[in-house]
Amino acid sequence: MRPDGLEDNYYFGGGGDTLISPLALALCLLAVILILVLPRKYVVVPFLLAGLLIIVREQVVIAGLHFMIYRILILAAGIRLVTSYLMVERESFRWRLTSLDKCLVVWALSNAIMYTILWREVGALVNRLGFLYTTLGAYFIFRYFIRDREDVIRTIKVLSCVTALIAVVMIAEQLTGKNPLAVFGGVSTYAVVREGRIRAQGPFLHPIIAGTVGATLIPLFIGLWRQGKKNRLAAGIGVVSATLMTITSASSTPMMTYGAGLLALCLWPVRRYMRVFRWGVVLSVITLHLVMKAPVWYLPQRIGDLMGGSGWHRSALLDTFIRRFGEWWLIGTQNNANWGYDMWDAINAYVDAGIEGGLITMLLFSAVLVYAYKKIGAARRMAEPSPRNAFLIWSLGAALFAHTVAFFGITYFDQSAIAWYGLLAMIGITTSFVNNRKRSPAEVQSPDLTADQVAAETVWAKEGPDHVPIHASPLS
């Protein structure tokens, strides 16, 4: 018992009882079996389907430790990874950590260490061990089982199936005001209603998360559309379903995220001049800060006033976070609940990183994004002679930008984190698009390509990934 009379699980989770429906248990066991027996390239299929569709509160509690469905799947996939590597692929598969891998590991360790030091409680240590298990486990499982372009396309197709199923549930929830998944437990029977609008959440713990997950997937599905006619059915289903997820969530953060992803995709024609564009954005933000009556971080409030939502809270949280820098910069703070109305709810991933682990942890979290963008930029330049590969890489970058914007209004505190770590893992192997395989001229003959694109693809097949067109701009 803590000195203030509250149990540790009030702050850190833990305790409670097992809550899992027979259907969820059956689906979990089926997914575990498939993870263990399917060929390596298909392991992500049951992992994503069960991990994203089964409500996070469906869990098994052992000695006060919570094993949500996705944590059980991580364990099964981890067993498969170790046994496959030791028994089959020790010589054929060389695992080399990239700068993105290393940065993510350092960020996760910093978060865990600082959070434990901040609270100095056994419960905090257990909580952060669970965080490390989920973060590093999910990321490196994706890194192992997603290795090349074909794996990325397959993963996006699986996500299309997931969004289609979730969209059906969220539409039913929007029309009836009741969540069909409530019969399995873990979510409320009645949908959330704000200002007379029903906000559907599907299998997620909050409507904002549900809509944001859909919005961040839009660039991936549009990228899939450009990969040939055989992929367009899955891409079209994904675009429609993810759009419906965004709309039925009735939240401003998903709508802003949706717009951010589309904006990033629209920059494809000027991809060689992104450095100029980035500096233009920086100068625009500085100008806005100088001419606005309120600081520039009150823009979410203005957007919230137009679109609805808690824009004021997001702006006030960021403003308070900046003004109280001295309270959290070293190792974070326990006192953000005392900063003002609803300040306990750190619905900003950057703010949350600082509150949980101080300035170092927040900078490392930002560094994960920076290294991911660098990976995208380098891979896209290498893949420029191959229009399909280059656009697929660009779509991954657009999805990353959508997450970057979403983090200003949300943190992923349920199974939605799986989609985030999956994206980072796909970004981590983008250089394999251009390093692992040369294609013959016959492979690039496709009715989906223009004459110029076929010519570019043919040059790619002849000259390989080391060929870079001399007109490529250093600004790209």
List the domain range (segments joined by +) for residue 197. Answer: 8-463
Question: Within a domain: residue 355?
Answer: yes
* 66 three-state secondary structure: strand
Measured between alpha carbons, how far is 251 from 309 in angstroms, rounded to an integer? 6
Question: Within a domain: residue 14?
Answer: yes
Total structural domains in the chain? 1
Cβ atoms 465, 382 nearer than 8 A: yes
List the alpha helices (DSSP H) in 120-148. Answer: 122-145
Measured between alpha carbons, how far is 393 from 220 in angstroms, rounded to an integer? 9
* 440 three-state secondary structure: coil
Helix, strand, coil % in the chain, rounded to nearest 5:
70, 5, 25
Name the residue among 246, 389, 242, 409 with its Cα closest to residue 316: 409
* 194 three-state secondary structure: strand
DSSP-derived secondary structure for 444-455 = G--TTS-HHHHH
Measured between alpha carbons, how far is 156 from 395 in angstroms, rounded to an integer? 11
Question: Within a domain: residue 345?
Answer: yes
Instruction: Using alpha carbons only, give the angle 56, 62, 64 rounded to the nearest 5 degrees.
Output: 85
Q: Using one digit for the tens of pLDDT, what is the confidence trace for 121-178? A: 999 999 999 999 999 999 999 999 999 999 999 999 999 999 999 999 999 999 999 9
Largest CA distance in the chain: 73
Question: Within a domain: residue 475?
Answer: no
Strand (E) or helix (H) holding 68:
strand 65-68
Question: Within a domain: residue 476?
Answer: no
* 349 three-state secondary structure: helix
- HSE-up (13 A, CA, CB side) for residue 207: 28
Measured between alpha carbons, how far is 308 from 291 in angstroms, rounded to an integer? 24
Structure confidence at residue 447 (pLDDT): 40
Structure confidence at residue 307 (pLDDT): 55
Neighbours of 164 (CB within 10 A): 17
Q: Find all residues with CB under 8 Å of 156, minimum gap 6, and list them.
A: 220, 221, 223, 224, 234, 238
- HSE-up (13 A, CA, CB side) for residue 332: 25
Question: Within a domain: residue 144?
Answer: yes
Structure confidence at residue 302 (pLDDT): 66
Q: Which residues of the chain have pLDDT under 70?
A: 1-11, 14-15, 91-92, 301-310, 435-476
Question: Within a domain: residue 436?
Answer: yes
Measured between alpha carbons, how far is 128 from 357 in angstroms, rounded to an integer? 11
Pairing of strands 192-194, 197-199: antiparallel
Q: Using one digit for the tens of pLDDT, what is the confidence trace for 122-133? A: 999 999 999 999
Q: How many residues does the chain have?
A: 476
Question: Within a domain: residue 80?
Answer: yes
Structure pTM?
Answer: 0.87
Return the DSSP state at 199.
E
